[in-house]
Amino acid sequence: MAWNLDYWKPLNENIMVKLEFLKKIAFLILCVSVLIGCKSKSENGVNLSEINKSEMGLKDYYSDCFIMGVAVAPNSIKGKSAELIKKEFNSITPENVMKMGPIHPEKNSFYWKDADAIAEFAKANDLKMRGHALVWHQQTGGWIFNDETGGEVSKEELLIRMKTHIDSVVSRYKGTIYAWDVVNEAISDDSTEFLRNSEWYDIAGEDFIVKAFEYAREANPDAKLYYNDYNAVNPEKRDRIYKLLKMLVEKNVPIDGVGIQGHWSIFGPTEEELRKALDMYSSLGLDIQITELDVSIYPWEKENRELKPGESDEFTPELEQKQIEAYDMFFRVFRDYKDVLTSVTFWNVTDQYSWLDTYPVAGRKNYPLLFDEDFNRKKAYEKIVEFSIQTETKFPK
């Protein structure tokens, strides 16, 4: 019997239409379930994107921008703090132990133990390391300026001692330290003066700056050499720092960059001041690093003073919001300048300890960092990494 194809045709078409319809429904169900799957909780109840976020650290969010560093002490490279540092940062700076007083306490003796431990920590964990600081007017140990009878040394003798210091310290950490703060804070706090009237300046004049850079370059030709200072974004001081840097560049002094310390607050600097300073310093062809960032919740004060009666040190929601906004603005500008800004280093790890808890007011707690007293990420942290989460998701390197 021959099949009457014409008879079957309508039925056939009907089935085909139905099958197409079912296929479309199945495809839709598949799409919806895939979409829901990305946003839904994984088996252990954690959002998938949350897993990526918790695996990432500041160094990962900012891997296309600049190095993310932190100042450390022998205590902070242990335990919970060490874990946080390894997860969040890719660079460290010793807070105190490489300053002249601690590392070279007497003319003929060095104390390497703490500095070595920090250098070992950097090497073992593949972290970059900044050296801080070769020549500064504070924490010098004092001996460097005095002869055996207690009198002031000659300029020649001071430069010989300075050379010995720089040679010894820079050579020891060759291969580990990629950048040195060679001269720290040489500009005067008095706006009517140029250079600070320190013992360095008093004995050796401005040659102490030039020689420090020359000795550092000789000791390690591969290290990047920086001049480092505070209030470097404040227009008045900025202009004097710029003048010094310009002089050094024009004299072919071996300087590679400028360190803007970044001890700032929720009250300043302004975005305009920050951009202007970055424009001016980079116009000299110098690399820029933010070397000591913290954002105080109090206005800037230079002189030490006692806590005033009734003075509060509570981290209120209003102060927290202002700090989020300040951090947001600073990092937005930093990202805009990523071609000339090569590193941002925070001064201390978490709000559990900051040098600002005792300076300028002893006993007044400050909350200047991105991690709270329990080592948790603050809202300011979430704010400054938002740009990266929105644009792309990267996994830790």
Active site residues: 185, 292
- Measured between its terminal Cα atoms, the distance across the chain in Å is 73
Dist CA 231 CA 239 (whole Å): 11
Least Cβ distance, residue 261 to ligand GLA (angstroms) = 5
| H-helix or E-strand spanning residue 23 | helix 5-39
User: Which residues are at the interface with ligand GLA (CB under 6 A)?
Assistant: 132-133, 184, 230, 261, 292, 355
Identify which of residues 93 and 388 has a Cβ nearer to ligand GLA in the complex.
Answer: 93
> What is the widest separation between alpha-carbon atoms in the chain?
129
Identify which of residues 81 and 93 has a Cβ nearer to ligand GLA in the complex.
Answer: 93
* DSSP at 170: H
Identify which of residues 57 and 262 has a Cβ nearer to ligand GLA in the complex.
Answer: 262
Identify which of residues 114 and 292 has a Cβ nearer to ligand GLA in the complex.
Answer: 292
Specify the residue for token string 């070595």.
Answer: 116
Least Cβ distance, residue 389 to ligand GLA (angstroms) = 32
Least Cβ distance, residue 225 to ligand GLA (angstroms) = 16
Identify which of residues 56 and 129 has a Cβ nearer to ligand GLA in the complex.
Answer: 129
Least Cβ distance, residue 396 to ligand GLA (angstroms) = 30
> Minimal CB distance to ligand GLA: which residue?
355
Dist CA 99 CA 108 (whole Å): 16
Please name the residues in contact with 141: beta carbons below 8 A apart, sequence gap of 6 or more. Answer: 100, 101, 102, 104, 105, 106
What token pair was written down for 65? 């921008």
Identify which of residues 60 and 292 has a Cβ nearer to ligand GLA in the complex.
Answer: 292
Least Cβ distance, residue 211 to ligand GLA (angstroms) = 20
| H-helix or E-strand spanning residue 69 | strand 67-72
Least Cβ distance, residue 356 to ligand GLA (angstroms) = 8
Secondary structure (DSSP) of 94-156: ESSTTSHHHH--BTTB---HHHHHHHHHHHHTT-EEEEEEEE-SSS--SGGGB-TTSSBPPHH
Dist CA 141 CA 31 (whole Å): 70
Residue pair 356/313 in contact by the 8 Å Cβ criterion: no
Dist CA 328 CA 201 (whole Å): 39
Q: Which residues pair with 67 in a beta bridge?
A: 343
Residue pair 69/91 in contact by the 8 Å Cβ criterion: yes
